[in-house]
Amino acid sequence: MLKLFTTGFWEVVARLILRNKVAILIGIVLVTLFFSYQWKYMRFTFTEANLLPDDHEVNVTYNHFLDIFGEEGNLIVIGVKDSTLFTVDKLNAWNSLSESFKPYEEVETVVSIKDLQKLVKNNEAQKFDLEPFIKDSIHSLEQINTLEKELFQKYPFYDNFLFNKETKTVRTAIYMKKDIVNTSLRKDFIEQILEPKIAEFESANNLDVRVSGMPYIRTLNAKSIIDEIGLFIGAALLVTSLIFFFFFRSFRATFISLIVVCIGVMWTFGILGLFKYEITVLTALIPPLIIVIGIPNCIFLINKFQHEVKLHGNKVKSLQRVITKIGNATLMTNITTASGFATFILTQSKLLKEFGIVASLSILGIFVLCLLIIPIVYTFLPYPKERHLEHLNKRWISTIVDWMVRMVKEHKIAIYSISLVLMIASIIGIYQMKISGSLIEDMPQDTEFFDDIRFFESEFNGIMPLEIMVDTKRKKGVMKLSTLKRMNELEEVINETPELSKPISVVSLLKYSKQAYYNGNPKYYQLPTSQENSFILSYAKNSSSDVDLLKNFVDSTGQYARITTFMKDIGTDRMERIEEDLQAKINKVFPEEQYTITLTGKALVFQKGTKYLVKNLVISLSLAILLISLFMAYMFRSFRMIIVSLIPNLLPLLVTAGLMGFLGVPIKPSTILVFSIAFGISVDDTIHFLAKYRQELQANHWKIRKSVFGALRETGVSMFYTSIVLFFGFSVFTISSFGGTVALGALVSATLLFAMLSNLLLLPSLLLSLERSIANKEVLREPSINIIPEEDEEDLL
């Protein structure tokens, strides 16, 4: 079994492929049709990425909150900041726009200025009545002035909820039904109802309406992801095909490669549908990744075919040698690349696990497609023309190869010095790295909806919900005055925190009730005293269901209460400080034996998830290094070779991490992927170089220097070619409007460039410097896998 991937095995594979061409092509068509059928099961995500395992304490707490109070991310807000709004026609039009959303079945309730009610004391019935600020519609400027005076000065309960009294910004709150807010019905409502109505209102009234809220942000963010999938695939195909054509000067070879990677992309979408995974900002990257990784496979196979044809002119023999000589090498490199992605499967994050499964399967799939389609298609095609073979002379690259050889020969000290300086600088940079737990940082920042997020942050202190749940551990414990006073103390801390909005809770409602009891006098907007509490609550209980003071803020048993605030988009460090301040106040005012207080909400869950992913980064990268080290030990049977091979692959990762620290690129879900992806790809070059080095040692009777330079000249070209493809291929992601995707593309490209230089300069230098301690009989043992067949002394390319 250990000798499975020998030359004999690949000769059998070659015969099977070339003798069963039609059957294999039919099989590929059928498999592609099967995967195409699975596309109907693809789903675009309707929620934020949950980075934590389902059984994680933070998720358990959040789900417990949802069980009691329902979905908290169901609020859409529309707002206007324009002094001309306060005219009769425009204010009536604004109220009509708000009213127009109420009949739709997707909407639970709408709260606008027209819906605001005065809580009025009814002495005869000993209850509170509701009296609207606006009856029917506005008829005069005098009415508007009275409305402004009452809302902005007399009723603090409404301040910073539907208006900002300082800037005169007005907004309307649209609460979607909780059972549909995370479904496609939300998208339909926003795209087919909300946006057209707002556009019509803006056109008719010459007003700029801002829209935000988590349902709206999710919808437009998902739409941006969908739009970019096509953009990435198109850009990746264009860039890689241009580079391919530059290398081969052949439309035919370029077209064949494009067909292969396009089928690979179809398989990737099929795998997503087969597993019924959602398309997220991460899984959306896989199709263009497959193009970028698949093209180097095509380069290896097609170039080897052309090389063989030029050597002896026998097409069948050439195709057979393509499979036997290059099949093993491409399999090994694809396995190591897939291993870099597959390590994410072992993490506990559902998001990363799905990404790892689809990416690793897709990489193996593109290898199979390349190995089957390219040799078979070329059996039906005529011989390559002479102009298609001119690139095999590689004269244009000889200068670069000569420079590399000269550097390794004459400037090893300089190579080591530069490597050492880079390592020290990188370690300094690593200590400056920061973690980002922002929900919106990676969203497209040049879009209108991102500007609207910033607008509502400025005017109303944020749109990301932060919830505090109070468990009194007894029924009706919330309405005890001692509990309410404690909640009020906690709300004071929230009010003093500039990054948090004014809190909303049963405390605010009771303060409003006391103000109403004292005939609307704003100086009585405060908690009732113990004497006042009982009869004010009796008024509330006698009121109609329309004046349900406890709705949405206290559960039906009276045991649980919620304090809702909204948070600005702030850094992880500041968010942690706020959490610590709130927790310190909670510990101080809420006795642990009487209360259980939990902080939760979308913003907090995402921040905790990001920190969790950082821990998983260390785990996944360590697993990738371990897995690939074991793989190389299996191939080379030499512990010393493992150590030597890891050094030039770990240094680029250090340099990238250092750059992130110096450039202020934070660790976040998107940039976390960089290290495992880059390591899995860059180690391919090391495998090729060391395999060729071992072969040269045997051919040159243990002449170390000759073997190193022979391997460098032989593999340097192929490593340069594939690195160029990968560099420009990953650079495609920098055209994204998502900041995290841009960072991912730039960082992986930079890492692979450093890895190429490290493998071409540092690795041969190490082999020369360590000489006898590395190049001993341990390396000469028969390897478990012959990556490059011993009799093949020709260039991989």
More confident residue, 750 or 618: 750
- Report the range out of 241-250, 417-426, 473-482 with the highest average pLDDT: 417-426
Query: How far apart (Å, rounded) are the C-alpha atoms in residues 372 and 18?
Result: 9
Query: How far apart (Å, rounded) are the C-alpha atoms in residues 776 and 638?
Result: 10
């699975």: which residue's tokens? 38
Q: Render the burial of 336-350: b for 16+ CB within 10 Å, e for the rest.
A: bbbbbbbbbbebbbb
The arithmetic mean of pLDDT across residues 668-696, rounded, is: 77
Q: Which of 137, 626, 568, 555 is nearest to 339 (CA)?
A: 626
Sequence-separated (6 or more) residues with CB below 8 Å from residue 329: 300, 688, 691, 787, 788, 796
Region for 701 from its dihedrals, namely left if φ exceeds 0, alpha if ψ lies in -120 to 50, beta otherwise? left
**Backbone phi, psi, residue 169, to 5°:** -80, 135
Query: How far apart (Å, rounded) are the C-alpha atoms in residues 266 and 618?
Result: 32
User: CB–CB of 521/515 below 8 Å?
Assistant: yes
pLDDT digits (tens, 9 = 90+) for 381-395: 876 666 555 655 556
**Low-confidence winner among 209-223, 370-384, 558-572, 599-613 (lowest mean pLDDT):** 599-613
Query: How far apart (Å, rounded) are the C-alpha atoms in residues 445 and 621?
Result: 30
Query: How far apart (Å, rounded) are the C-alpha atoms in residues 113 and 159?
Result: 12
Query: Percent helix, strand and coil across the chain, each rounded to 5?
Result: 70, 10, 25
Give the pLDDT band (50/70/90) at residue 200.
very high
Query: How far apart (Å, rounded) are the C-alpha atoms in residues 443 and 471?
Result: 35
Region for 172 from its dihedrals, namely left if φ exceeds 0, alpha if ψ lies in -120 to 50, beta otherwise? beta
Q: Which of 688, 676, 619 is nearest to 650 (CA)?
A: 676
Sequence-separated (6 or more) residues with CB below 8 Å from residue 147: 113, 133, 134, 138
**Backbone phi, psi, residue 505, to 5°:** -165, 180
Query: How far apart (Å, rounded) are the C-alpha atoms in residues 159 and 635?
Result: 70
Cα end-to-end span (Å), the chain: 29
pLDDT for 369 equals 94
pLDDT digits (tens, 9 = 90+) for 493-551: 998 888 888 888 888 888 888 888 888 888 888 888 877 777 676 666 665 444 444 56
Give the pLDDT band (50/70/90) at residue 597.
very high
Residue 563 pairs in a beta bridge with 468
Question: Six-digit token pair at 487?
Answer: 């909640």
Query: How far apart (Å, rounded) are the C-alpha atoms in residues 427 and 420?
Result: 11
**Low-confidence winner among 188-202, 556-570, 681-695 (lowest mean pLDDT):** 681-695
User: CB–CB of 459/81 below 8 Å?
Assistant: yes
pLDDT for 167 equals 85
**Low-confidence winner among 14-18, 50-54, 348-352, 359-363 (lowest mean pLDDT):** 50-54
Q: Which residue intervals of 461-529 are DSSP H helices? A: 481-495, 506-517
pLDDT digits (tens, 9 = 90+) for 365-383: 999 999 999 999 988 887 6
What percent of the chain shows pLDDT beyond 70? 89
The arithmetic mean of pLDDT across residues 719-725, rounded, is: 81
Q: Which of 113, 107, 75 is nearest to 94 (CA)?
A: 113
Sequence-separated (6 or more) residues with CB below 8 Å from residue 399: none
The arithmetic mean of pLDDT across residues 672-689, rounded, is: 78
Query: How far apart (Å, rounded) are the C-alpha atoms in residues 297 and 641?
Result: 25
The arithmetic mean of pLDDT across residues 686-708, rounded, is: 76
pLDDT for 428 equals 93
Query: How far apart (Å, rounded) are the C-alpha atoms in residues 31 and 9?
Result: 25
Query: How far apart (Å, rounded) are the C-alpha atoms in residues 26 and 17?
Result: 13
Burial class (CB in 10 A: 0-12, 13-18, 19+), 231: middle
pTM score of the predicted model: 0.77
Give the pLDDT band (50/70/90) at residue 2.
very low
The arithmetic mean of pLDDT across residues 258-263, rounded, is: 93
Region for 120 from its dihedrals, namely left if φ exceeds 0, alpha if ψ lies in -120 to 50, beta otherwise? beta
Query: How far apart (Å, rounded) are the C-alpha atoms in residues 697 and 703?
Result: 6
Query: How far apart (Å, rounded) are the C-alpha atoms in residues 367 and 388?
Result: 24
What separation in angstroms does the CA of 768 have from each of 411, 413, 663, 708, 718? Answer: 12, 12, 35, 7, 21
Output the DSSP codes for 117-175. EEEEEETTTTEEEEEESSSS----HHHHHHHHHIIIII-GGGBTTTEETTTTEEEEEEE
Q: Which residue intervals of 313-349 are DSSP H helices? A: 315-321, 327-342
Q: Return the ∠ at Cα 398 (arms to 393 and 403), rounded to 5°.
A: 165
How far is CA 692 from its chain centroid? 38
Residue 177 DSSP symbol: P
Query: How far apart (Å, rounded) are the C-alpha atoms in residues 51 and 350?
Result: 7
More confident residue, 346 or 412: 412
DSSP 3-state assignment of 369? helix
Query: CB atoms < 10 A from the CB of 797, how many?
Result: 23
Evaluate if residue 573 carries a pLDDT over 80. Answer: no
pLDDT for 274 equals 93
What separation in angstroms does the CA of 643 have from each of 191, 403, 637, 710? Answer: 56, 26, 12, 22
What separation in angstroms does the CA of 482 have from each of 376, 527, 594? Answer: 81, 11, 11
pLDDT digits (tens, 9 = 90+) for 215-260: 888 888 777 877 888 888 888 889 888 888 887 777 888 899 999 9
User: CB–CB of 681/726 below 8 Å?
Assistant: yes
Helix axes 639-663, 602-636, angle to 10 degrees: 150
Question: Six-digit token pair at 278?
Answer: 């959602």
More confident residue, 692 or 370: 370
Give the pLDDT band (50/70/90) at residue 363.
very high
User: What average pLDDT does the structure give for the chain?
Assistant: 81
Evaluate if residue 794 carries a pLDDT over 70. Answer: no
CA gyration radius, the chain = 33
Query: How far apart (Å, rounded) are the C-alpha atoms in residues 24 and 19?
Result: 10
User: CB–CB of 243/391 below 8 Å?
Assistant: no
pLDDT digits (tens, 9 = 90+) for 102-150: 999 989 888 888 877 777 777 777 777 777 778 777 888 888 888 878 7
Question: Six-digit token pair at 113?
Answer: 């200025």
More confident residue, 602 or 101: 101
Output the DSSP codes for 246-266. HHH--HHHHHHHHHHHHHHHH
Give the pLDDT band (50/70/90) at residue 791.
very low
pLDDT for 83 equals 85
Decide the pairing of beta strands 278-279 and 43-44.
parallel
Residues composing the chain: 797
**Low-confidence winner among 572-576, 634-638, 708-712, 780-784 (lowest mean pLDDT):** 780-784
What separation in angstroms does the CA of 548 have from each of 543, 544, 560? Answer: 7, 7, 16
pLDDT for 3 equals 45
Evaluate if residue 768 carries a pLDDT over 50. Answer: yes
Query: How far apart (Å, rounded) are the C-alpha atoms in residues 366 and 68?
Result: 48
